[in-house]
Amino acid sequence: MTLRNWSENIRFESGAVHAPRTVEGLQEIVRASGKVRVLGARHSFNDAAAIDEQVDVDGTQEVTRDPAWAYISLEALDTPVEIDRERGTVTCSGGITYGELCRRMHAEVVALHNTASLPHITVAGACSTATHGSGDGNGNLATAVVGLEIVTADGELKTVTLEEDGETFEGSVVALGGMGVVVRMTLATQPAYSMQQYVYRDLPSVELYANFDEIMSGAYSVSLFPDWQDEKVNQVWFKHRTGTVGESDGGKAAALEPVDLGLPSALYGAKAASTDLHPVPDLSTEGLTVQMGVPGAWHDRLHHFQIDSTPASGDELQTEYFVPRAHAVSALQAVEGLRDRFKSILWISEIRSVAADRLWLSQSYSTPTIGIHFSWRKNWAAVREVLPLVEEALAPFEMRPHWGKLFTVPPKRVQAAYPKMADFKALLRSTDPDGKFRNGYLDRFVFG
């Protein structure tokens, strides 16, 4: 059976797939293999998780095969979830999905600071590409990491922590799979909290540009969904944090008391929705987290998609570019200027904010950013034509593309966008001198 990614535009055929049950078994596989790549939930849209280079990403390119190459899945690895209340941390397998981790954490009345739109991705896979949610005060998901246990190229198990390893740690968290197999991770926790989610419709662009900071800071997590047509943002999602969940009820009841936030029926010209809405008009809201201010636990509101929803194979390709917050309005206006070019191929865009961090390859390294995301219809030939236009429009704004999505920015420009790229390269050379964890993607965007 050919393994593919979620969007089915990338194939993982170039090496054998191993699913070891123990760390020792995994170490043996790493020692015995010429090239190794870990597969997370395979939700990336480019060849970041492939051993070979798949530059055409239309699912038809010939793959290179080598019997000494190995993919590793952590699905069968038996690793407990351990909560340390004193330190305020949770330690888990790198291969656990956020859905499973959040469920286990909430049962113990602890929470993460943020999540991505969907719970089906793995913690290590998501942090490797600096996956993010939204919120002016929220760093990307990798900023919760305080420790990593990595099987390195020589098969040894190495621990890297925020406390002890300083700069090396900052280079190791968002590492695009290049440091080795992240078998266990320790993340910072906080007390479990409750949230209420509200949607507003048809925010005029002119109001958005005049009040951008106020709107983006209007809740704990804010998402704008424009299709760029008709000079408006189709929907604005506000996810408000409303309280702390009690210990005594196992993280359930106290969260469910609604809090009157006194929200108006109209905000900057946008109107409060009168029913749950999907960001793509006409799509069913089944599987979305509940809106309309109904209270729920943090993980039942921060994700856009419910934990129990089935992740269908996607008729979709995704792209996202980050620009420093200071350029947000100019960058959005530049994209809006291209709207006629992507009218027929765009499902929807999403704009989110991400706080600055110190992780070398994070798109928000040393600057708060706005992520400008595009969900395209699955037509790579058409999307490939449009991406360079969007990238040119965003080039004056110190743009950095999402590591896990599709882009056509030349490798040199990608490298130049990261001040710590040379240090990252040196780090990978020292931990993996023979390039066991190097793939076509790292060869292009880091070493190329």
Ligand X SMILES: Cc1cc2nc3c(=O)[nH]c(=O)nc-3n(C[C@H](O)[C@H](O)[C@H](O)COP(=O)(O)OP(=O)(O)OC[C@H]3O[C@@H](n4cnc5c(N)ncnc54)[C@H](O)[C@@H]3O)c2cc1C
At 419 the three-state DSSP class reads: coil
In this chain, which stretch among 14-22, 119-127, 257-265, 331-339 interacts with ligand X, using CB under 6 A?
119-127
Nearer to ligand X, 38 or 255 (CB): 38
- Site for ligand X (CB under 6 A): which residue of 57, 111, 116, 393? 116
What letter would DSSP give residue 275? Answer: S
Nearer to ligand X, 140 or 194 (CB): 140
Nearer to ligand X, 155 or 177 (CB): 177
Nearest distance, CB of residue 50 and ligand X, angstroms = 8
- Site for ligand X (CB under 6 A): which residue of 13, 35, 92, 95? 95
Nearest distance, CB of residue 114 and ligand X, angstroms = 10
Binding status of residue 48 toward ligand X by CB under 6 A: yes
In this chain, which stretch among 126-134, 207-215, 260-268, 289-297 interacts with ligand X, using CB under 6 A?
126-134
Amino acid letter, residue 168: T
Residues 130-149 that bind ligand X (CB under 6 A): 131-132
DSSP characters over 26-81: HHHHHHH-SEEEEE-S---SSGGG-SS--TT-SS-SPPP--TTEEEEE-TT-----
Terminal Cα distance for the chain, rounded: 32
Rounded Cα distance, 212 and 380, in Å: 32
Nearest distance, CB of residue 176 and ligand X, angstroms = 5
At 344 the three-state DSSP class reads: coil
Nearer to ligand X, 109 or 182 (CB): 182
At 303 the three-state DSSP class reads: coil
Binding status of residue 15 toward ligand X by CB under 6 A: no
Binding status of residue 125 toward ligand X by CB under 6 A: yes
Measure Cα distances from 45 to 9, 159, 288, 411 in Å. Answer: 7, 29, 22, 17
Rounded Cα distance, 145 and 302, in Å: 18
Nearest distance, CB of residue 145 and ligand X, angstroms = 12
Helix (H) or strand (E) holding 352: strand 346-354
Residues 284-343 that bind ligand X (CB under 6 A): 314, 318
Q: How many CA atoms lie within 13 A of 333 on its CB side?
A: 12
Rounded Cα distance, 395 and 400, in Å: 9
| Of the candidates 34, 4, 3, the residue with the CA atom closest to the CA atom of residue 17 | 3
Residues 152-211 that bind ligand X (CB under 6 A): 176-177, 181-182
Nearest distance, CB of residue 82 and ligand X, angstroms = 17
CB 37 within 8 A of CB 181: no
- Identify the bridge partners of residue 148 per DSSP, sorted by sequence position: 160, 185
Nearer to ligand X, 116 or 146 (CB): 116
Q: Which residue has the tokens 């123990």?
A: 22
- Site for ligand X (CB under 6 A): which residue of 124, 160, 174, 222? 124
- Site for ligand X (CB under 6 A): which residue of 12, 13, 27, 94? 94
- Site for ligand X (CB under 6 A): which residue of 30, 70, 111, 121? 121
CB 224 within 8 A of CB 236: yes
- Site for ligand X (CB under 6 A): which residue of 42, 240, 299, 436? 42
Residues 381-420 that bind ligand X (CB under 6 A): 404
CB atoms within 10 A of CB 264: 9
Residue nearest to ligand X as judged by C-beta position: 125
Nearer to ligand X, 205 or 309 (CB): 309
Nearest distance, CB of residue 44 and ligand X, angstroms = 3
Nearer to ligand X, 116 or 307 (CB): 116
- What is the token pair recorded at 274? 């009168």
- Site for ligand X (CB under 6 A): which residue of 23, 70, 126, 331? 126
CB 407 within 8 A of CB 371: no
Interacting residues toward ligand X by CB under 6 A: 6, 37-44, 48-49, 74, 94-95, 116-118, 121-122, 124-126, 128-129, 131-132, 176-177, 181-182, 314, 318, 404
